Amino acid sequence: MKVKLEVDCTPKEARSFLGLPDLEGLNNHLVEEMKSRIDAGVAMTAPDELMKSWMSFGGQATDQFRKLMTSAMAAAATPKGG
C-alpha cells in the first residue's frame, strides 16, 4: 500500500502545526546585530579610521612599524645563497 500526502503550507504554519516556537523575533534581532557589526567593521577599514587607530598608540607604534619595514627591506635586499 502506498500513501502520498501533500501539504501546502507556509513555514510559519508548519511550525505552528508542529508546536515549534516562533523564533522570528530572535532571528530578526540577530540579523540586525550582525548587520551593525559588519557596518562597524567596514567603517574600521576606512583609511582615515585606520590612521586614527594607529596614531592612538603614539610614536612607539610608528617606530615599530618603521623597524618592521626596514627589516623587511633588508631581508629582501640580501642575496639568497644557493
For the chain, the structural domain boundaries read 11-76
pLDDT given at position 44? 67
| pLDDT above 60: residue 73 | yes
What 8-state DSSP symbol labels residue 79?
A: P
Angle in degrees, 0-180, between the axes of helices 47-55 and 24-44, rounded to the nearest 10: 70
CB count, 10 Å around CB of 61?
13
Q: What is the pLDDT of residue 81?
A: 61
> Is 0.85 surpassed by the pTM of this model?
no
What is the mean predicted confidence (pLDDT) over 13-18?
90
The H or E element containing residue 21 is none
Distance CA 68, CA 80 (A): 20
Mean pLDDT of 31-51: 80
> Residue 65 has which C-alpha cell?
612599524
Mean pLDDT, the chain, integer: 83
Note the pLDDT of residue 27. 92
